[in-house]
């Protein structure tokens, strides 16, 4: 709740709680989707920019890693959700869900947990109005102000901070997979030549592929056609 106090013509800054939310790993064919949110008093929002928080895509991996702990210390609270490839597939293949709604519902979970007065979301949908309304409809506390914006991670320090938490978490999860299975599949993005080669050779060996992705389906179809041709 926002509180404005007037005293001797001076305005004491409000105690409005502001939340920024972003994701990492929306496009890869390998690994999880990560959604992260940070909560901070709006009057301290600028401090995130001062410590170097900006769109995670513009930062080096080492810089993101160093900011990860700084951001956690600077904010009032944070929440990180790791969504497994199988859950991504279920949403994409569902008749009632899609990737945007999956992301929206996990943003709702974060907002419900952090309980901000205002939330700024990096919007993945072309229809910002519909995305905002979908989030608002699913909130427990309907009085939270929701703002959805394209490229919010570049324009708002809270969303920049959330993007860093999400990206570092996603990168760590990818490294865990590589270390556990003793493999190297590159970035996990379909456009990565190393990922493409790995998918082609190992499509049926691991459970970390997003099987609903077109790149996976193309390999699956090719393998099925080859087997039919062998008969």
Domain that holds residue 57: 5-182
Q: How far apart are CA 94 and CA 158, in angstroms?
A: 32
In the sheet where 118-122 sits, what is the strand order? 77-83, 33-41, 17-24, 118-122, 145-149
178 in a structural domain: yes
pLDDT tens track of the chain, all 231 residues? 334 343 443 344 468 999 999 999 999 999 999 999 999 999 998 899 999 898 898 889 999 999 999 999 999 999 999 999 999 999 999 999 999 999 999 999 999 999 999 999 999 999 999 999 999 999 998 899 999 999 999 999 999 999 999 999 999 999 999 999 999 999 999 999 999 999 999 999 999 999 999 999 999 999 887 665 554
pLDDT at 112: 97
Q: How many domains does the chain contain in total?
A: 1
Give residue 3's pLDDT: 40
Give domain status of residue 188, yes or no. no
181 contact partners, CB below 8 Å, separation of at least 6: 206
In a domain, 160, yes or no: yes
In a domain, 73, yes or no: yes
pLDDT at 142: 87
What is the structure's pLDDT at 11? 43
What residues have CB less than 8 Å from 36, skipping those under 6 apart?
Answer: 21, 22, 23, 24, 78, 79, 80, 81, 110, 162, 163, 165, 166, 169
Whether 198 is covered by a domain: the verdict is no
The whole-model pTM stands at 0.90
Determine if residue 112 is left, alpha or beta; phi over 0 gives left, psi from -120 to 50 gives alpha, anything else beta.
alpha
Question: Residue 114 sits in a domain of what CATH number?
Answer: 3.30.420.10
How high is the pLDDT of residue 14? 60
In-domain check, residue 111: yes
DSSP secondary structure letters along 93-128: H-SS--HHHHHHHHHHHHHHHH--SEEEEE--SS-H
| Secondary structure class of 204 (helix, strand, coil) | coil
Cβ distance 189 to 27 under 8 Å? yes
221 located within any domain: no
The 10 Å CB-count burial string (b at 16+, else e) for 86-123 is eebbebeeeeeeebbbbbbbbbbebbebbebbbbbbbb
DSSP lists the bridge partners of residue 52 as: none
Show Cβ contacts of residue 202 under 8 Å, excluding neighbours closer than 6 positions.
183, 185
* pLDDT (0 to 100) of residue 5: 40
How far, in Å, are 59, 105, 112, 142, 203 from residue 135 at the CA level?
Answer: 29, 7, 11, 10, 35
Q: Is residue 189 part of a domain?
A: no
């Amino acid at each position: 709740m926002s509180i404005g106090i007037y005293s001797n013509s001076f305005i004491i800054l409000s105690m409005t709680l502001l939340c920024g939310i972003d994701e990492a790993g929306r496009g890869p064919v390998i690994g999880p989707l990560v959604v992260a949110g940070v909560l901070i008093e709006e009057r301290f929002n600028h401090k995130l920019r001062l410590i170097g928080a900006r769109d995670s895509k513009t930062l080096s991996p080492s810089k993101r890693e160093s900011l990860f702990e700084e951001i956690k210390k600077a904010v009032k609270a944070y929440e990180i959700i790791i969504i497994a490839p199988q859950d991504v597939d279920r949403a994409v293949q569902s008749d009632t869900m899609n990737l945007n709604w999956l992301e929206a519902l996990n943003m709702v979970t974060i907002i419900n947990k952090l309980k901000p007065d205002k939330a700024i979301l990096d919007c993945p949908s072309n229809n910002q109005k519909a995305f905002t309304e979908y989030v608002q409809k699913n909130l427990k506390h309907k009085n939270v102000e929701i703002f959805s914006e394209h490229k919010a991670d570049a324009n708002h320090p809270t969303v920049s901070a959330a993007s860093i938490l999400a990206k570092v978490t996603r990168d760590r999860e990818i490294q865990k997979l590589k270390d556990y299975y003793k493999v190297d599949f590159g970035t996990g993005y379909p456009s990565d030549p190393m990922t493409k080669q790995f998918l082609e050779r190992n499509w049926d060996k691991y459970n970390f592929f997003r099987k609903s992705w077109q790149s996976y389906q193309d390999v699956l179809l090719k393998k099925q056609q080859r087997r039919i041709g062998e008969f």
